Amino acid sequence: MSASDARSAGGQGGLNRPYQPQGVPILDVTDLKKHYPLRGGFFGGTTGHVYAVDGVSFQIARGETLSLVGESGCGKSTVGKAVLRLFDITAGQVVLDGKRIDDLSAGALRPVRRRVQVVFQDPFSSLNPRMRVRDILAEPIRNFGLARDSRDMEARVAKLMDTVRLPRDAVNRWPHEFSGGQRQRIGIARALAAEPDLIVCDEAVSALDVSVKAQIVNLLQDLQQELGLALLFISHDLAIVEHMTHRVAVMYLGKIVEVAPKRSLFAAPKHPYTEALLSAVPVPSPGAARQRIILKGDVPSPINPPKGCRFHTRCPYAFDRCRVEEPTLNHVATALDPGHVAACHLHDRPEAENPLAIAKGAALVAA
Amino acid sequence: MASATLLSPIEAAPPQGVAAAAPMPDVLPPVKPRKGFIGFVRRHPTMAIGGALLLLMVLVAIFAPLLGTTDPTALAPARRTREPSAMYWFGTDMLGRDVYSRVLYGARVSLIVGFSVAILASVVGLAIGMVSGYVRILDSIVMRVMDGLMSIPPILLAIALMALTRGSVQNVIIAITIAEIPRVSRLVRGVVLSLREQPYVEAAVAAGTRTPSIILRHILPNTLAPITVQATYICAAAMITEAILSFIGAGTPPTIPSWGNIMAEGRALWQVKPYIVFFPAIFLSITVLAVNLLGDGLRDALDPRMAKRL
Amino acid sequence: MALLEVENLQTHFRTPDGVNRAVDGVSFHVNAGETVAIVGESGCGKSVTSMSILRLIPEPPGKIAGAIRFQGRDLLKLSDREMRDIRGNEISMIFQEPMTSLNPVLTVGRQIGETLRLHQGLSKQQAEEKAVEMLTLVGIPEPRRRVREYPHQLSGGMRQRVMIAIALACNPKLLIADEPTTALDVTIQAQILELMKDLKHRVGAAIVLITHDLGVVAEVAERVIVMYAGRKVEEAAVGPLFNDPKHPYTQGLLGSMPKLGSSLHGDEGRLAEIPGLVPSLKKKIDGCVFAGRCPKVTDLCRQVAPALEEKAPGHVAACHYAIKEGAIAA
């Protein structure tokens, strides 16, 4: 089943149909951890750790979009950078297309890098101000030896400009001559230049104005269909995520608390944090009757995360077990989709005592 | 107009009697955007003034022999300490040498020292800062050494270094350069560390760019702007340091006219013959001011936050 | 009489490339106790409008023209001293970035108390008492302890609460909130929006909310002004604006937003795009400002700037082709 089939599968059957990956996933992350040491004291010794990412596992199939959502500081961008191997991870495994990449040396890693590219959030700092568009796009092509000769290089650069709907003659211009949306298109073209299988979109549309955001979202979706790309779409914007993803993973304080196919998650969230997130997003329908869950307090510090379930300090349904025992990601019996997993003790309780047993999505988002 | 109900607003005929908005008056007088030289001066007045003054000084230094000067070292005991006049524009010193000629030739020393130190200190500081910012193992060692050097005032360090060698323009340049290097290295290191975190550098890493290429294509070009600004300030500081060294007799040898030397020689007479000190001092001040104006202008022009303003 | 009446506000800036007509002829009013939202994308002039009301635009290079009448007094005619008495007292402001708009070296209590001591002449003790009271009002737990803390000891959401406390300390009649929740996470944003709605009932200040987020507008505003390229292009009560937008720009904005819950209905088609770019404000625009991007553009639009017309009761839009409700009835 291709990506487009998954998206168009609507109606009763489609709601319950999971995205069925075939063969080896393009990306398989197991128990990924990234702890940053905190240095302090007179001798600069390690005084503690920031548990930025603390045991995260997920898979992305070929041509699939997995969205990583969560609030600032939940570790979603760190996961993206770990997948890109922009730093060494603390523990865990990152397997790209069946090949483990987290332990590769710099030399062995270089050819593998071609397959995973990135689009960053800020269209202004993501392009080198001292390089012309042509050189920005040529760099990955040259690094991976993709062009046969200089004419092939020219042709590839021109084709990339076509792909992202920019005029070909703009390759001679400098980044500052473009608007934010156009720069983001250049960033996408640079990612495509390496002919990757997977693109990490780290808040790729968050900094753009509403009307420009729609242009870039549409472009990303078109490209995914045309090129069969897999996307790791990191975002805090749930409406955009819902619009363009196949599956969603929700992160809270360095851990994934829920993973589900899109419809299953938005129609019937199975983690209290997801439920609160959905109910908190302002929707452009004035006077809509919706169930609001206003979480108390702030996200705890990742230096000293709470014992037990990390969400228990803010959870409206927390009970004794949540404070001592950390829940694991388990399949949820009441979910709309068999591929729906959540880390919450509520699902071990009888349905009558489980506020998340029913499908509440529509009431939360006023849809 | 009843037909409008059947049509979407696109096809609807314009309503009779088009309602035109009243035109808004001009609040500010119109500005004619200028390109070229006038545009540059209007956009960056400080840089233009500083650059023009500095250029003037450079021309004066280069063409000193053509500007009505005499041999600046020629002694003439018969006409010692003459007041400024049509004959001796800036007067003569206690050995009868023409102060005007000496001041103009003195510009050569100041400018050579200023430019040389600025270039040398920037190049060496850039190299040290790059290594420090990229090779984290060396960083703590290099930076502790730089901290140690920085704890000594540059002028004292330069005096100490001069004490070890013979007085010559070349040694003055080396001494001041060594004293200025720590500041540049620190700056470059800071810039490199922040550039390494820039998304475009991370994207280049993800695109398989090798480290030497990253440094050459992504890091180095983006350090040049802050380095250039810093170089102008170093240039100004070096000219002052040179003058101080010469003034206290630890710098340029007395046989070569430099502003510091002229002032040193006029020091004993400054209450009765102030012009001997006054003219070189004015030239030094104007040159340093010009370089600093140029630096401020460059900083404003190169600072992206300022450039984005409106 | 409305609390605030802005008439033909023009705020222009002198730049080397020409005069930037950031705000060019914007008129609106705010009634006592009302919440009015000004929405638009970056560069539309919404923030410049709010800064102009408080006269926080540096002159030069800026220049404000028109009239801004607050309780009948034209703020543009006041002396700097009279203006200072109004700022933070009768009109106060909340900014987007709570970290940079608080002074890092003063305690929270000092910062709240400062405005009170300045405008109401309270003693140090009275000011601190009032600061504790304000922190309680904005829902900060343990206000007695927090009042002695510094901004860096507070989280982002708490800092925004402190900002609101400072803004409300002198019981202002008008509160200008410039992107008050943009820098916050969604669950914290929900807390702050809830607080603002709650405080509105208790304090009764009118609010001018500047934002780009149509979701936030729908949550809290009563009336909405849509700005584009320095002009007001549409104004209506919140319901009609979202349910029956008249201006093609507003229609485009709403169409380009993905709706939360779209997957529940299976309506996940392409998002509507507004093609092209915002025009440069440094050139004088003949005709409609939106003509270059409008799907419904005609020669008339390119030549004649449309006036703001009442298309339905209380619903004005600047478009030659937006249907007038009255006309249909006739």
Write the pLDDT tens digit of every residue in C257-292.
Answer: 888 888 888 766 788 888 888 888 888 888 899 998
| CB-CB neighbours of A15 under 10 Å | 18
- Mean pLDDT over each residue of chain C, to the nearest integer: 87
Structure confidence at residue A172 (pLDDT): 93
Q: Which of B111, B123, B129 is nearest to B242 (CA)?
A: B111
Q: Which of A181, A262, A286 sits opposite C263 (nearest CB)?
A: A262
Structure confidence at residue A6 (pLDDT): 40
Model confidence at C327: pLDDT above 60:
no
Q: Does B198 touch chain A (CB under 8 A)?
A: yes
Report CB contact under 8 Å: A81, B210: no
The domain spans of chain C are 92-171
Cβ(B93)–Cβ(B266) under 8 Å?
yes
Question: What predicted TM-score, i.e. pTM, was given to this entire model?
Answer: 0.85
In a domain, B48, yes or no: yes
Provide the pLDDT confidence category of residue A40 given band limits of 50, 70 and 90.
low
- Mean per-residue pLDDT, A81-108: 91
The string of DSSP letters for C139-206 reads T-SSHHHHTTS-GGGS-HHHHHHHHHHHHHTT--SEEEEESTTTTS-HHHHHHHHHHHHHHHHHH--E
- Highest mean pLDDT among C15-19, C51-55, C94-98 belongs to C51-55
| CB-CB neighbours of B103 under 10 Å | 26
Query: How many domains, chain B?
Result: 1
Q: B15-24, B71-80, B104-113, C62-71: lowest mean pLDDT where?
A: B15-24
Q: Measured between alpha carbons, how far is residue B33 from residues A106, A360, B192, C17 in Å?
A: 51, 59, 36, 4
Query: What strand order describes the sheet that includes C62-70?
Result: C18-30, C4-15, C62-70, C73-74
Bridge partners of C207, per DSSP, are: C35, C175
Position B98, amino acid:
D
Give the separation between CA B258 and CA A286, rounded to whole angstroms. 78
**Each residue of B48-65: pLDDT tens digit?**
999 999 999 999 889 888
Residue in chain B lying closest to A194 (CA): B207
Provide the pLDDT confidence category of residue C161 given band limits of 50, 70 and 90.
confident
Place of tokens 């969603």: A248
- pLDDT above 70 as % of chain C: 97
Model confidence at A195: pLDDT above 70:
yes
Cβ(B202)–Cβ(A117) under 8 Å?
no
Model confidence at B9: pLDDT above 60:
no
Structure confidence at residue A42 (pLDDT): 60
Backbone phi and psi for residue A167, each to the nearest 5 degrees, phi listed first: -65, 140
Looking at per-residue pLDDT, the higher value among C121 and A174 belongs to A174
Find the largest Cα–Cα distance for chain C.
67
Cβ(B141)–Cβ(B123) under 8 Å?
no
Tokens describing residue A313: 């300090």
Tokens describing residue A171: 């390759």
The string of DSSP letters for C263-296 reads HHHT---PPP---S-PPPTTSPPPS-TTGGG-TT
- Highest mean pLDDT among A159-168, B37-46, B145-154, B273-282 belongs to A159-168
- pLDDT above 90 as % of chain A: 61
A241 contacts: CB under 8 Å, gap ≥ 6: A67, A69, A233, A235, A248
Looking at per-residue pLDDT, the higher value among A141 and B3 belongs to A141
Bridge partners of A136, per DSSP, are: none
| CB-CB neighbours of A318 under 10 Å | 17
- Mean per-residue pLDDT, A182-189: 94
**Each residue of B116-171: pLDDT tens digit?**
999 999 999 999 998 888 887 888 888 888 888 888 888 888 888 888 888 788 88
- pLDDT above 90 as % of chain B: 25
Structure confidence at residue C15 (pLDDT): 83
Model confidence at B41: pLDDT above 90:
no
Q: Which uninterrupted H or E stretch holds C46?
A: helix C46-53
Provide the pLDDT confidence category of residue A12 given band limits of 50, 70 and 90.
very low
Report CB contact under 8 Å: A190, B221: no
- Mean per-residue pLDDT, C25-32: 93
Contacts C242 to A, Cβ<8 Å: 284-286
Structure confidence at residue A92 (pLDDT): 93
In a domain, B178, yes or no: yes
Find the largest Cα–Cα distance for chain A.
69
Provide the pLDDT confidence category of residue A150 given band limits of 50, 70 and 90.
very high
**Each residue of A311-321: pLDDT tens digit?**
999 999 999 99
Contacts A365 to C, Cβ<8 Å: 260-261, 264
Give the separation between CA B266 and CA C47, rounded to whole angstroms. 61
What's the burial of C66, exposed, middle or buried (CB within 10 Å: 0-12/13-18/19+)? Answer: buried
Cβ(B178)–Cβ(B150) under 8 Å?
no
Structure confidence at residue B309 (pLDDT): 39
Give the separation between CA A248 and CA A339, rounded to whole angstroms. 11
Structure confidence at residue C122 (pLDDT): 84
A9-68 residues touching C, CB cutoff 8 A: 10-11, 14
Provide the pLDDT confidence category of residue C217 given band limits of 50, 70 and 90.
very high
In a domain, B293, yes or no: yes
Give the separation between CA A250 and CA A265, rounded to whole angstroms. 10
Give the separation between CA C99 and CA C105, rounded to whole angstroms. 12
| CB-CB neighbours of C121 under 10 Å | 9
The string of DSSP letters for B36-96 reads HHHHHHHH-HHHHHHHHHHHHHHHHHHTGGGTT---TT---GGGTTPPS-SSSTT-B-TT-
Looking at per-residue pLDDT, the higher value among B303 and A210 belongs to A210
Query: What strand order describes the sheet that includes A116-119?
Result: A116-119, A198-202, A230-235, A65-69, A247-252, A255-261, A341-342, A330-331
B16-35 residues touching C, CB cutoff 8 A: 18-28, 30-34
DSSP E strand stretches across A236-322: 247-252, 255-261
Q: Which uninterrupted H or E stretch holds C312?
A: strand C309-312
What's the burial of A42, exposed, middle or buried (CB within 10 Å: 0-12/13-18/19+)? Answer: exposed
Cβ(C68)–Cβ(C6) under 8 Å?
yes
Whether residue C143 has a cis bond before it, omega within 30° of 0: no
Place of tokens 């990191």: A234
Report CB contact under 8 Å: A118, B218: no
- Mean pLDDT over each residue of chain B, to the nearest integer: 83
Give the separation between CA C229 and CA C255, rounded to whole angstroms. 19
Provide the pLDDT confidence category of residue A18 given band limits of 50, 70 and 90.
very low
Looking at per-residue pLDDT, the higher value among B248 and A367 belongs to B248
Question: For B150, how many CA atoms within 13 A lie in the half-sphere containing its CB?
Answer: 13
Give the separation between CA A355 and CA C41, rounded to whole angstroms. 40
Bridge partners of A94, per DSSP, are: A29
Q: Which of A201, A271, A191 is nearest to A227 (CA)?
A: A191
Model confidence at A9: pLDDT above 60:
no
Name the neighbours of C, counting chains with at least 3 Cβ pairs within 8 A. A, B
A331 contacts: CB under 8 Å, gap ≥ 6: A338, A340, A341
**Each residue of B261-303: pLDDT tens digit?**
888 888 888 788 888 888 889 999 999 999 999 988 888 887 6
- Mean per-residue pLDDT, B105-112: 90
Give the separation between CA C112 and CA C136, rounded to whole angstroms. 13
SS3 call for C244: coil
Q: Which domain holds residue B105?
A: 41-63+89-303
Q: Which of B152, B206, B222 is nearest to B181 (CA)?
A: B152
Residue in chain B lying closest to C22 (CA): B310
At what angle are helices C156-168 and C186-203 packed, to 10 degrees?
Answer: 20
Q: Which uninterrupted H or E stretch holds A267?
A: helix A262-267
Q: Does A282 touch chain C (CB under 8 A)?
A: yes
How close does chain B come to A107, measured CA to CA in Å? Answer: 9
Model confidence at A81: pLDDT above 90:
yes
| CB-CB neighbours of B203 under 10 Å | 26
Report CB contact under 8 Å: A117, B206: yes
Report CB contact under 8 Å: B208, A111: yes
- Mean pLDDT over each residue of chain A, to the nearest integer: 87
Provide the pLDDT confidence category of residue B304 given band limits of 50, 70 and 90.
low
Query: What strand order describes the sheet that includes A91-96?
Result: A45-60, A27-40, A91-96, A99-100
Q: Could you tell me the CATH number of the domain that includes residue B154?
A: 1.10.3720.10
Cα first-last separation, chain B: 45
**Each residue of A23-35: pLDDT tens digit?**
689 999 999 999 9
Beta pairing, strands C315-317 & C309-312:
antiparallel
What's the burial of B213, exposed, middle or buried (CB within 10 Å: 0-12/13-18/19+)? Answer: middle
Cβ(A108)–Cβ(B208) under 8 Å?
no
Cβ(A75)–Cβ(A254) under 8 Å?
yes
B31 contacts: CB under 8 Å, gap ≥ 6: C14, C15, C16, C17, C18, C19
Looking at per-residue pLDDT, the higher value among B99 and A259 belongs to A259
Structure confidence at residue B124 (pLDDT): 95
Q: Measured between alpha carbons, how far is residue B138 from residues A42, A235, B142, B144, C170 in Å?
A: 20, 38, 6, 10, 56
The string of DSSP letters for chain B reads -GGGGGS-TTTSPPPSS--BPPPPPPSS-------HHHHHHHH-HHHHHHHHHHHHHHHHHHTGGGTT---TT---GGGTTPPS-SSSTT-B-TT--BHHHHHHHHHHHHHHHHHHHHHHHHHHHHHHHHHHHH-HHHHHHHHHHHHHHHTS-HHHHHHHHHHHS---HHHHHHHHHHHHHHHHHHHHHHHHHHHHTSHHHHHHHHTT--HHHIIIIIIHHHHHHHHHHHHHHHHHHHHHHHHHHHHTTSSS-TTS--HHHHHHHHGGGTTT-THHHHHHHHHHHHHHHHHHHHHHHHHHHH-HHHHH--
Name the neighbours of B, counting chains with at least 3 Cβ pairs within 8 A. A, C
In a domain, B237, yes or no: yes
Report CB contact under 8 Å: A266, C264: yes
Bridge partners of C94, per DSSP, are: C177
Model confidence at C65: pLDDT above 60:
yes
ipTM of the complex: 0.85
Position C16, amino acid:
P
How many A-C residue pairs are in contact by the CB < 8 A criterion? 144
